[in-house]
Structure 1
Amino acid sequence: MAVASGSVAFQSGYIKSARGVKLFTCSWLPANQEVKALVFLCHGYGVECSIFMRGTGTRLAQAGYAVFGIDYEGHGKSEGAVCLVERFSDVVDDCSSYFRSIRGNYNALGSISHDRTPVEMPDYKNKARFLYGESMGGAVALLIHRKEPMDWNGAVLVAPMCKISEKLKPHPVIVSILTRLSPLIKSWKIVPSKNIIDHAFKDPIKRDEIRANPYVYQDKPRVQTALQMMVASTDLEQRLDEVTFPFLVVHGKEDTVTDPACSVELHKRARSTDKTLNLYPEMWHGLTVGESDENIERVFADIVAWLNLRSPAGALTAKTLQQSDLKMVIDDHKLTASNGVCNNNHSFN
Structure 2
Amino acid sequence: MAVELRFPSSELSLFSQKCFAPINHRQNVRLPFTCPRKTTPESPMSWGSGHRLVVTAKKPPIDGVPAELNKIASQKLDSAPARRRVRSAFKELQQQLDHCLFKMAPAGIRTEEWYECNSRGLNIFCKRWFPESDVGIKGAVCFCHGYGDTCTFFFDGIARYIAASGYAVYAMDYPGFGLSEGLHGYIPSFDELVDDVIEQYKKFKGRPELNGLPHFILGQSMGGAVTLKIHLKEPKLWDGVVLVAPMCKIADDVKPPEPVLKLLKLMSHVVPKAKLLPNVDLGELAIRETNKRKLAVYNVISYGDRMRVKTAMELLKATDDIEKQVEKVSSPLLVLHGAADKVTDPQISRFLYEKASSKDKTLKLYEEGFHCILEGEPDERIFTVLNDIISWLDSRCSLT
Fold agreement, TM-score > 0.5: yes
Q: Give distance in 2, aligned partners of 1:299 and 1:209.
A: 20
User: Contact (CA 8 Å) 1:55, 1:289: kept in 2 or not?
Assistant: no
The one-letter code sitting in structure 2 at the alignment partner of 1:137 is G
- Provide the TM-score with structure 2 as the length reference: 0.72
Map Cα deviations across residues 224-250 of structure 1 (whole Å, 9 max, x no partner): 111000100010011100000001000
What secondary structure does 1:170 align onto? coil
- Provide the TM-score with structure 1 as the length reference: 0.82
Aligned to 1:101: 203
Superposition map of 1:146-165 within 5 A: 146-165=232-251
The one-letter code sitting in structure 2 at the alignment partner of 1:71 is D
The reply to whether residue 13 of structure 1 matches residue 99 of structure 2 is no
What secondary structure does 1:190 align onto? strand
The reply to whether residue 286 of structure 1 matches residue 388 of structure 2 is no
Map Cα deviations across residues 81-133 of structure 1 (whole Å, 9 max, x no partner): 1010000012211111111111122xxxxxxxxxxxxxxxx431311000000
Aligned to 1:138: 224
Map Cα deviations across residues 253-289 of structure 1 (whole Å, 9 max, x no partner): 1111111111001000000000000011100000101
Q: How many residues align?
A: 297
After superposing on structure 2, the runs of 4+ consecutive aligned residues of structure 1 that deviate more than 4 Å are: none
Partner residue of 1:24 out of 125, 131, 140: 125
Aligned to 1:183: 269
Superposition map of 1:237-252 within 5 A: 237-252=323-338
Which ranges in structure 1 are unaligned for 5 or more consecutive residues?
106-121, 313-325, 330-349
What secondary structure does 2:362 align onto? strand
Partner residue of 1:65 out of 152, 159, 167: 167
User: Contact (CA 8 Å) 2:194, 2:230: kept in 1 or not?
Assistant: yes
Q: Give distance in 2, aligned partners of 1:192 and 1:242.
A: 35
Q: Give distance in 2, aligned partners of 1:171 and 1:10.
A: 47
What secondary structure does 2:397 align onto? coil
* Displacement after TM superposition at 1:5 (Å): 7.5
The two structures, once aligned, show a CA RMSD in angstroms of 1.8
The reply to whether residue 196 of structure 1 matches residue 282 of structure 2 is yes
Change in 2 beyond 3 A, CA 1:295/1:267: same
What secondary structure does 2:128 align onto? strand
Q: Give distance in 1, aligned partners of 2:193 and 2:218.
A: 15
What secondary structure does 1:40 align onto? strand
Aligned to 1:302: 388
User: Contact (CA 8 Å) 2:106, 2:161: kept in 1 or not?
Assistant: no
Partner residue of 2:139 out of 13, 37, 52: 37
* Displacement after TM superposition at 1:166 (Å): 3.4
Map Cα deviations across residues 270-328 of structure 1 (whole Å, 9 max, x no partner): 0000000001110000010111111101111111111110012xxxxxxxxxxxxx4xx
User: Contact (CA 8 Å) 1:45, 1:135: kept in 2 or not?
Assistant: yes
Aligned to 2:194: 92
The reply to whether residue 218 of structure 1 matches residue 300 of structure 2 is no
Which ranges in structure 2 are unaligned for 5 or more consecutive residues?
1-87, 89-104
Percent of paired sites with the same residue: 39
Q: Give distance in 2, aligned partners of 1:200 and 1:266.
A: 21
The one-letter code sitting in structure 2 at the alignment partner of 1:14 is Y
Change in 2 beyond 3 A, CA 1:152/1:225: same
